[in-house]
Structure 1
């Protein structure tokens, strides 16, 4: 584990694999940390890739910024981290909120993008109902902490049948959610409530794009992924069977196979 100061925050990260390998920046979603990508690290580094997994500001062991943290703040943090590591361009990969940060990174730092991987995410701007929900949830997390929320959403983060069939995976996901600092999670929720529309950004992407989605994702269902593919005609869409919102955790072998095939054939 490593840490660096960027833009007024301390960012903790891991940097795996050969320094000469093509770099991959893996961005976790809410309310997790960099360990969400643990099932991907060994297969990717074994294939010769350099894998950078940061804890976003307010998550994991990175420092917390109270109030509001915009997706733009996360994207700029990550660009600064790449600067610190001497990485000019990377394959930028994000799941859920991490996918939206990936789109924001493409908007703000397109020259740093070698390819995009968008897992279980959505491109349109936040709706008025969504803004209200996220702000109410931020208030709730600050008042109550993470445990009640985490137990309520575990069967949406994972497909409900996988919560039962994969108790060790469910326990690991629950532990990560419960360990998140409520103040960091709330700040991200308030920033995400102001999420812009990324469809024009995606429509102009020239880099290779992989879209991945769990077949039974209830947060960002398959039609959301298909909508992104229509915006990026040269993209590749892979639907992972027997998975919900976190296919990289629920079906890591299938997810990793799709990612490695994309990297081998499109870079």
Structure 2
């Protein structure tokens, strides 16, 4: 699937629109792309899934607008829905994509009919502690050539901690040093690590829409506690805990896809027929 070219200011973005039925806007995590979404979100009959590769990620260019932000990425995704003629939709995302989804649900309640927060990395404040390793990678890339920066990061206390506690997070972080565009990569990681969804706890507590929260352990960047707090804060949210990606990726993906499938199935089914 080659995607759809979508331009915003001077950024050339790549969007994806597949399937037919009730629209679902689903966004990837930091440094991810449509490929991450396709791996975790199944193609379902009766669902039209839209995804936009965010600026400087996937097949989308960085453009010159700075700083990058969750709000900017949310505005891009909403504009993509507008361009595709999609007015009302369920919205979800993984990690950074979950923050984008929460931003859209609060800021555009008239357009969002359901919410999926998968592996959330943020609560309500910008720059949480769990995002500091991303800021450290940004710092390293700004102060040395990529190969030297990577070697220095591997020797750091942060890398040693992640190797023990969250090896999947470490592998993801090391991949940023191998990207061909170190300057926009540093801009991306530094800005997003310091950002947040721009949503208060009170605003999340006031949400009135079906919500699924997916969380798991063995993940420094996406603490299970964050998923639990969001599920407790958003009224009537459903929390599903799945196997950690770091310990069993295959089981993680199966459980992720099953949780999304069940939620969308229940969303489409009249209340009186739900189990």
Which category of TM-score, normalised to the shorter sequence, fits these structures? 0.7 to 0.9
Identify if the C-alpha distance between structure 1 residues 131 and 219 changes in structure 2 by more than 3 Å, giving closer, same or farther: closer
Q: Distance in 2 between matches of 1:133 and 1:127?
A: 11
* Aligned partner (choices 209, 219, 234) of residue 217 of structure 1: 219
1:90-239 → structure 2 map (5 Å cutoff) = 90-121=89-120, 122-127=122-127, 135-142=135-142, 143-145=144-146, 148=150, 160=167, 178-179=178-179, 181-192=181-192, 193-195=194-196, 196-239=198-241
1:128, distance to aligned residue in structure 2 (A): 7.9
Q: Could you say what secondary structure the match of 1:138 adopts?
A: helix
**Cα-to-partner distance string for 1:34-91 (whole Å, 9 max, x where unaligned):** 21112245x323x331111221011111111354212111111111000011001121
1:242, distance to aligned residue in structure 2 (A): 3.8
Q: Could you say what secondary structure the match of 1:74 adopts?
A: helix
Identify if the C-alpha distance between structure 1 residues 260 and 133 changes in structure 2 by more than 3 Å, giving closer, same or farther: closer
Which of the two has greater helix per residue? 1
1:176, distance to aligned residue in structure 2 (A): 8.3
Q: Could you say what secondary structure the match of 1:183 adopts?
A: helix
Length-normalised TM-score, structure 1 = 0.79
* Residue 78 in structure 1 maps to residue 77 in structure 2: yes
Instruction: Please tell me whether the aligned partners of residues 12 and 62 of structure 1 are also in contact (alpha carbons under 8 angstroms).
Output: yes
1:24-103 → structure 2 map (5 Å cutoff) = 24-40=24-40, 43-45=42-44, 47-66=45-64, 67-103=66-102
Match of 1:252 in 2: 253
Q: Distance in 2 between matches of 1:241 and 1:200?
A: 30
Moved more, 178-187 or 202-211: 178-187
Instruction: Please tell me whether the aligned partners of residues 130 and 221 of structure 2 are also in contact (alpha carbons under 8 angstroms).
Output: no
Instruction: Please tell me whether the aligned partners of residues 31 and 59 of structure 1 are also in contact (alpha carbons under 8 angstroms).
Output: yes
Identify if the C-alpha distance between structure 1 residues 104 and 177 changes in structure 2 by more than 3 Å, giving closer, same or farther: farther
Identify if the C-alpha distance between structure 1 residues 76 and 240 changes in structure 2 by more than 3 Å, giving closer, same or farther: same
State the Cα RMSD in Å. Answer: 3.4
Instruction: Please tell me whether the aligned partners of residues 13 and 55 of structure 1 are also in contact (alpha carbons under 8 angstroms).
Output: yes
Instruction: Please tell me whether the aligned partners of residues 22 and 49 of structure 1 are also in contact (alpha carbons under 8 angstroms).
Output: yes
1:186, distance to aligned residue in structure 2 (A): 2.6
Identify if the C-alpha distance between structure 1 residues 37 and 106 changes in structure 2 by more than 3 Å, giving closer, same or farther: same
Q: Could you say what secondary structure the match of 1:110 adopts?
A: coil
Q: Which runs of 5+ in 2 are unaligned?
A: 269-275
**Cα-to-partner distance string for 1:186-212 (whole Å, 9 max, x where unaligned):** 333343213245423311111111000
Moved more, 123-132 or 210-219: 123-132
Greater relative CO, 1 or 2 (CA 8 Å, sep 6+) = 1
Length-normalised TM-score, structure 2 = 0.77
